[in-house]
Structure 1
Amino acid sequence: HRALTRELPLATPGSARSDRTTPVNFTSRSGGKRRDGKAPVARSRTRKVARWVPKMRIAMGGMRKWLFNQSTMASYLNTNTQTTLSPPRPSWVDLTNFGLPSSMETSGYVPFLMAIILIASVMTVSLRKNKLSAFPVINASKNEYLMSGRAMLARGLKEFGGKPFRVNTGLGGGVIILDHSVMPEVRNDARFDSTKFLLQYWQAGIPGFEPYIALGTEILHNVIKWNLTPAGIAKLNKPLSDEANAALSDILTDNEEWHEVLLGDVIIRIVARVSSVIFLGPELCRNPDWLKITVNYTNKATNAAKVLRRWPVILYRTIHWFLTECREVRTMLIEARQIIAPILEKRRVEKAADPSLEYHDALDWYETAAKRMGVEYDPADQQLALSISAILTSNDLMSQSIMDLCKNPEMFEPLRNEIRSVLGDGQWKPTSLYNTKLLDSVLKETLRLKPVAAVGLGRRVMEDVRLKDGTVLPQDSGIAINAEKMWDPEIYKNPRAYDGYRFLRLREASEQGEKTSQLVSTSPEHLGFGLGIHACPGRFFGANTVKLVMCHLLLKYDIKLAENTNISPLEFGFSMLANPTTKVLVRRRKEEVNF
């Protein structure tokens, strides 16, 4: 405070005070001389402080003005609601001496506390930026990252030859891109946190984005771990299949003539309905208001995040209140709570009357988990978190797989033959979907060629970490692994070409291939579902749902691409999403097996 108010004399270039300055002697690389031949100038700690003084004065001046405006408004409101006198505001001397009377208003602390927070934040950011300067930045602006993120990764790999480099994403210090070779060090190290990485990316902490915070909660992971195991999922196939059959009939219709549909729109509606049977039970799985929210929330949140990122990070918590896109997300979350609350309350009353009553859906799983863990939770946040993790990924994989099959129509009949052989008796067995190995291979190949992101193992560094090669990753920095190995010719033959049989051959070639080449398997060579302790926990349910719906779709409908439709993936930053504008032609066909 004294430094900022000029009570502490500061050294300036050309004038140093012996009583305030601590010279630092050093020898330059040129033998102690500057390039101009003059002796080096002694630097001082106070000169370092002096560099920040103008910035601090400007920032604090703006802060005081903002606080004055807030105080004026508060005084106006108080004057119109009550006629009490407020105690005088404390002086800066009072605050610096901490001689605060007990009757003082809490608001009196605000300028002092905000000044301290601002100074600490600036110094912390400065220190972190110094550590990040060891990593060269490949792009000057975040717009380049947003428009051509994947191309930048390829350029960085070529320019830096596997050495770490940084991508300016517009968030914090950006993301440090690491080479594939460090993956064994990162995959299971608890000092690298995937949840914190995603929370920063998805503006967690901003009202309306709470479901993204829920993605990292222990209760969500326990609900998945305790209920959506491979064995548990197999028991859900019958209700999932029944809803898939009804959803296809309602959305794609039973029209036997070719008719055009928007692929992304119909697939996400089908996946949302089928998933909601398990997430919310019969009361809500066909509720149009709820389905509208689950289908649109992720897209709305993604769009809101894009708009928010155009602003400086320091303004996020203020500016979001005035952005239409953020307001839409907040409104959807409020509506979701209004839909779920009465159903959950009704169930709680019924269970109180009959404790033996059970519901086989995620609403009940959360209630059980909350009691078991002794925690409280927001049902709407958690349900939308499930929708984000299951519906978005499943929709993208299924939409892109259909496009790939339409580009390779010779794959349709072999897939139908496999489904007919597995489900010939019309009965769902625990091993039914496991035995659709060609379908599994087709889906994994699509996920290899176009994952949802061009990087894998996104993590936030929780403390300074030194890698084996000597690289120091600063605390709070973001890191990711370049996913280029998924298209490496040394690993995959003709890596840029589509081969639906690729992973089926690998499964049949060896026992190890059987373990690593399934759709839900994770490996350093295929980062579609992540890797290590932070691999996607919901991948078993998501893969099961996609395969089940694909069985219905392939046997019951003919599909082909509409003329002149665009099938190129939509790239935004590191994201690679199935094109939402792709149109296909469909018609009902007579299925050979009724299931």
Structure 2
Amino acid sequence: MTDISLTNHVLAAATCITVLIVALKLFKSSNLDHIPSVGYSYWPASYISAFKYMSSAAQILQEGYVKYKGAPFKIPTLNRWVVVVGRQNLEDIKKATDDELSLVEAVNDTIKIDYLIGPAISADPYHIPLARIRLSRKLGLYYPDMKDEVHIAFEELLGLKDNAWKSVVAVATIREIVCRASNRVIVGLPLCRDPDWIDLNARYAVDVAFDANILNMFPKFLVPFVSKVLPNSAAGIKRATKHLDPLIEERFRCMKEHGDEWSDKPNDFLQWLIDEKEECTTRQLTLRVLTLSFASIHSTTNTCTQALYNLAANPQYVEPLREEVDAVIREHGWTKEAMVLMQKVDSFLAETLRLEGVLTTSVQRKALKDLTLSDGTFIPKGTHLYVPTYVFHRDSAIYENPGIFDPLRFFRLNDDGNESSRHRMVAMNRNYFPFGYGKHACPGRFLAADELKTMFAHILTSYDVKFEDRVSRPASIYWDSNVIADPTVRLLFRKRARN
């Protein structure tokens, strides 16, 4: 037997043993037997339910919600058993301390951050409060740059002439525009327009997710070894470091020469990281930049594309939206303040997120100790909790005609003159939380909202849009907990026809 043949046999045997260990470990649910299940609750039949969840998560969540009348239930996934909690448990999650229910540990288990990005990201996530403070309290400072990048990117990528229609692949086009606009805030000019940097950012989240899925197939003791042979994430980090190294070195040189402040000091996320003085190597700072990019670009791309599909499928709403945008821009210009005043646009995007949010579940947590929820449900240490966002956002007890896309739904809810911000798309309450809930809600949601409204308003004021070869809205793709805008759909753009 040749060495190569022997190696293949050893690898095959190791793989079989690994699969058996994982199967026995993942689908032994004795510590959750007191919580009812959706699907098969015993191994190996539970694997059937786990595979079904990959393509039918929405239906399974809906089934559990109806069957158990909003009480917690458990579902098998390919990686572990997950407890899906009810609306009454949202306050339990909100009030829990980080050493009781941890978002960081839950995400780390799912995406394997420690192995694919770096342990410092989860050990000291200082970039999260930094993003929360800077991206929410100082929106007006960076908004002009982001707005300019949105306008320039649309003009360059569409390249429209006269009144001719141009066909583009919606997801790919919007992703590049989002990447440029986001990175104008993250790393600034000229890097945000670099084609290789844009391609890297577009691929990185996909690469990390792909590698994480592979690692999740192996038992914990093998993950450190397997992660070292996965090429995608490591290659992305190396590629990003090559781009950022000269930029970071130049900024450190300026700080050494001029001190902490100088006349043309950049105002971007990278500089905010440097100013914190928590980390000082190119690799450390690169990992933080990639983490923010990972968290923002694809979710914003997906939401903007879904909103465009809704606009093309509901052309009767174009004029009311245009009237609002035109009036606001006439009086306030392209400013942060103008974005706040576009309440119909905000409502359109909020309704898009309600029906086509990026995930069917959210508010993910991992129990770091045994605890009992307010309804008496016992949650053992190590259990993952999900909140079924998809189900809550379609609850007929909360929303009238919940399955119908009603773009002015939230505008009407806000039209009471008293709580005008309660039903905005960045708001959080027990019935609506596309950006999460409680103190760990998405720290970049204000940047995402401004970016989405700027892009959508620019499209309304500058272009006519329609589907190339269809009339009805394309169905979203459901994969695991993800809700994905159809990446194959083409849209037609032309310069806005004005009376």
Band of TM-score, shorter chain: 0.7 to 0.9
Q: Distance in 2 between matches of 1:307 and 1:580?
A: 23
Letter in 2 for 1:130: S
Q: Does 1:333 align with 2:237?
A: yes
Return the offset for 1:249. Answer: 1.0
Aligned to 2:183: 276
Aligned to 1:540: 446
Letter in 2 for 1:453: L
SS of alignment partner, residue 493 of structure 2 = strand
SS of alignment partner, residue 251 of structure 1 = helix
Note the alpha carbon deviations across 1:478-514, whole angstroms, 9 max, x for none: 01122212111121111100111110111112523x2
Q: Distance in 2 between matches of 1:212 and 1:438?
A: 42
Larger Cα-atom Rg = 1
CA contact (8 A) 2:114 2:122 kept: no
Equivalent residue runs for 1:144-159 within 5 Å: 144-159=52-67
Q: Distance in 2 between matches of 1:179 and 1:426?
A: 43
Letter in 2 for 1:576: V
Aligned to 1:134: 34
Return the offset for 1:294. Answer: 0.8
Q: Distance in 2 between matches of 1:447 and 1:307?
A: 29
Return the offset for 1:203. Answer: 2.2
CA contact (8 A) 1:211 1:384 kept: no
SS of alignment partner, residue 516 of structure 1 = coil
Aligned to 2:149: 243
Q: Distance in 1 between matches of 2:334 and 2:268?
A: 19
Identify the match of residue 165 of structure 1 among 58, 73, 91. Answer: 73
| Count of aligned pairs | 465
Q: Does 1:187 align with 2:94?
A: yes
What residue ranges of structure 1 are gaps of 5+ in the alignment? 1-65, 70-120
TM-score when normalising by structure 1: 0.73
Letter in 2 for 1:205: D
Note the alpha carbon deviations across 1:522-569, whole angstroms, 9 max, x for none: 111012111111111110011011111212122111111121497211
Return the offset for 1:575. Answer: 1.5
CA contact (8 A) 2:160 2:166 kept: no
SS of alignment partner, residue 113 of structure 2 = coil
Identify the match of residue 473 of structure 1 among 366, 379, 383. Answer: 379
Aligned to 1:79: none
What residue ranges of structure 2 are gaps of 5+ in the alignment? 1-6, 11-20, 40-45
Aligned to 2:17: none
Q: Distance in 1 between matches of 2:55 and 2:336?
A: 45
The structure-2 alpha-carbon separation of the partners of 1:224 and 1:262, relative to structure 1 and needing over 3 Å to count, comes to: same
The structure-2 alpha-carbon separation of the partners of 1:165 and 1:313, relative to structure 1 and needing over 3 Å to count, comes to: farther
The structure-2 alpha-carbon separation of the partners of 1:223 and 1:590, relative to structure 1 and needing over 3 Å to count, comes to: farther
Q: Does 1:201 align with 2:110?
A: yes
Aligned to 2:16: none
Return the offset for 1:309. Answer: 4.0
CA contact (8 A) 1:569 1:577 kept: yes
CA contact (8 A) 1:370 1:376 kept: no
CA contact (8 A) 1:340 1:380 kept: yes
Return the offset for 1:374. Answer: 9.8
Identity of aligned residues (%): 23
Q: Distance in 2 between matches of 1:417 and 1:468?
A: 48
Letter in 1 for 2:176: R
CA contact (8 A) 1:237 1:428 kept: no
Note the alpha carbon deviations across 1:241-270, whole angstroms, 9 max, x for none: 211111001111123311211100000100
The structure-2 alpha-carbon separation of the partners of 1:552 and 1:279, relative to structure 1 and needing over 3 Å to count, comes to: same
Return the offset for 1:426. Answer: 7.1
Aligned to 2:435: 529
CA contact (8 A) 2:117 2:233 kept: no
Q: Distance in 2 between matches of 1:258 and 1:448?
A: 31
TM-score when normalising by structure 2: 0.86
Letter in 1 for 2:372: R
Q: Does 1:178 align with 2:85?
A: yes
Identify the match of residue 268 of structure 2 among 340, 353, 361. Answer: 361
Q: Does 1:427 align with 2:333?
A: yes
Identify the match of residue 389 of structure 1 among 289, 295, 303. Answer: 295
The structure-2 alpha-carbon separation of the partners of 1:223 and 1:554, relative to structure 1 and needing over 3 Å to count, comes to: same
Q: Distance in 2 between matches of 1:308 and 1:586?
A: 42
Q: Distance in 2 between matches of 1:175 and 1:203?
A: 17
Aligned to 2:160: 254
Q: Distance in 2 between matches of 1:399 and 1:437?
A: 20
Q: Distance in 1 between matches of 2:211 and 2:27?
A: 31
SS of alignment partner, residue 254 of structure 1 = coil
Equivalent residue runs for 1:275-294 within 5 Å: 275-294=182-201
Aligned to 2:133: 226
Aligned to 1:485: 392
Aligned to 1:415: 321
CA contact (8 A) 2:111 2:212 kept: yes
CA contact (8 A) 2:361 2:387 kept: yes
SS of alignment partner, residue 221 of structure 1 = helix
Aligned to 1:23: none
Note the alpha carbon deviations across 1:118-174, whole angstroms, 9 max, x for none: xxx99xx799943222223423122112121111111222333333221111224x2
Query: 557-566 or 342-351, which moves further after superposition?
Result: 557-566
Return the offset for 1:305. Answer: 3.1
Letter in 2 for 1:334: K
Return the offset for 1:217. Answer: 4.0
The structure-2 alpha-carbon separation of the partners of 1:215 and 1:536, relative to structure 1 and needing over 3 Å to count, comes to: farther
Q: Distance in 2 between matches of 1:384 and 1:463?
A: 31
Aligned to 1:342: 246
SS of alignment partner, residue 587 of structure 1 = strand
Q: Distance in 2 between matches of 1:331 and 1:477?
A: 33
Note the alpha carbon deviations across 1:43-76, whole angstroms, 9 max, x for none: xxxxxxxxxxxxxxxxxxxxxxx9xx9xxxxxxx
Letter in 1 for 2:109: Q
CA contact (8 A) 2:427 2:433 kept: no
